C-alpha cells in the first residue's frame, strides 16, 4: 500500500524522490515493482537513488545499474562501496547519469555532480559527497561543496545533495552550511532511516538518513546469523544479502521552481507486496 498523502499537484514545483541505498537483488526488485506506482501516485518528476550496494550488497555492475535506470531512476549516486566491483570503471567513464562522491582527488575518473534536464522543468543538479568521520579518507567535503555549489547555481537553483556519511554531526553541519544555497541535503550510508526531516530557515530540506531499500528482516540488509557470529567471535564471516520484509525507503521533496527552496519533505517507507 502506497503512502496515502500525496503531494498536491503544483505546476510551479519540482517533485523529487530520493531512494535510499539499494541493497542487492531484493532492493532492485523493490525499485522495479514500487517506483512506477510511486511516480504516478505522487506526480514525481525526477528520481535519484543511491546504488552503491546494488550488486550483491557490495558495489554495482553495468547490468545492475542498467536494471535500476530501466526501472525509472534518473540519476544514481554512490558512496564508499563504489569500487567493490571492477565494472564500475566502465560506468564512471561512460554513464552520464552515474555519480561518485565529488571529493575524490583530482584525476580520479568519474563525476561528482550532474544536471538532469526535462522539457518542461528547470534543470535539477545532483551533487554526491562523502563524509570523512569514521570513513575512508577523502578530500574535505565542506571545502568541495563550497567550491561546487556556486558553480552549479550558475546553471540552476535546484540542487539536491546526497551526503554519504557515518557521523550525524557531519551531515547536519554540512547541511547547515549549505542552507539557502541548495534545495535539499539527504544523508545515506547508515541504512537506518531517521525521523528528523525538516526544512531549514534558508529553505533547504534535510534528512539525516534516508534508510535503505531492500530486506529489513536483517542487519542493515545482511543475513543476521553471520553478522551476529562476527560480533560474538570476531571471526571472518560471509555477509549474504537477506530476503525478508522488503521496503523501499527514501524521501519525497517538493522544490519551488523559481527560488529552488524546498516546500515540503516527507520520509517514505513503502513495503513490497502490502
**Which residues are designated catalytic?**
81
**Largest Cα–Cα separation, the chain:** 57
Helices 168-178 and 141-153: crossing angle in degrees, nearest 10, is: 30
What is the Cα–Cα distance from 188 to 208, expressed in whole angstroms? 8
Neighbours of 238 (CB within 10 A): 8
Instruction: Say which residues have a Cβ less than 8 Å from residue 85's Cβ, sequence separation at least 6.
Output: 55, 58, 59, 60, 61
Enter the C-alpha cell of residue 59.
558495489
DSSP letters spanning 236-252: -----B--EEEEEEEEE
> What are φ and ψ of residue 10, in 5° steps?
-140, 115
DSSP letters spanning 184-211: EEEEESS----S--EE-TTS-EEES---
What is the Cα–Cα distance from 182 to 158, expressed in whole angstroms? 7
What distance lies between CA 50 and its chain's CA centroid? 4
Place of cell 510551479: 12
Amino acid at each position: 500500500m502506497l503512502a496515502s498523502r500525496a503531494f498536491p499537484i503544483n505546476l510551479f514545483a519540482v517533485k523529487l524522490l530520493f531512494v535510499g541505498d539499494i541493497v542487492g537483488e531484493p532492493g532492485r526488485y523493490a525499485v522495479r515493482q514500487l517506483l512506477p506506482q510511486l511516480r504516478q501516485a505522487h506526480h514525481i518528476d525526477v528520481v535519484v537513488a543511491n546504488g552503491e550496494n546494488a550488486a550483491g550488497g557490495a558495489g554495482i555492475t553495468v547490468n545492475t545499474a542498467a536494471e535500476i535506470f530501466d526501472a525509472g531512476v534518473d540519476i544514481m549516486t554512490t558512496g564508499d562501496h563504489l569500487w567493490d566491483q571492477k565494472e564500475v570503471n566502465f560506468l564512471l567513464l561512460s554513464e552520464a547519469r552515474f555519480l561518485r562522491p565529488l571529493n575524490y582527488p583530482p584525476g580520479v575518473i568519474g563525476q561528482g555532480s550532474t544536471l538532469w534536464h526535462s522539457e518542461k522543468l528547470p534543470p535539477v543538479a545532483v551533487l554526491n559527497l562523502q563524509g570523512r568521520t569514521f570513513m575512508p579518507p577523502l578530500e574535505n567535503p565542506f571545502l568541495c561543496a563550497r567550491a561546487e555549489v556556486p558553480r552549479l547555481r550558475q546553471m540552476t537553483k535546484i540542487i539536491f545533495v546526497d551526503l554519504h556519511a557515518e557521523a550525524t554531526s557531519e551531515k547536519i553541519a554540512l547541511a547547515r552550511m549549505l542552507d539557502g544555497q541548495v534545495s535539499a541535503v539527504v544523508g545515506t550510508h547508515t541504512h537506518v532511516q531517521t525521523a528528523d526531516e525538516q526544512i531549514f530557515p534558508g529553505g533547504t530540506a534535510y534528512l539525516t538518513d534516508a534508510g535503505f531499500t531492500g530486506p529489513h528482516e536483517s542487519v542493515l540488509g545482511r543475513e543476521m546469523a553471520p553478522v551476529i557470529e562476527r560480533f560474538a567471535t570476531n571471526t571472518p564471516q560471509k555477509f549474504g544479502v537477506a530476503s525478508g520484509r522488503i521496503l523501499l525507503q527514501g524521501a519525497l521533496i517538493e522544490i519551488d521552481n523559481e527560488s529552488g527552496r524546498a516546500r515540503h519533505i516527507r520520509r517514505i517507507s513503502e513495503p513490497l507486496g502490502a
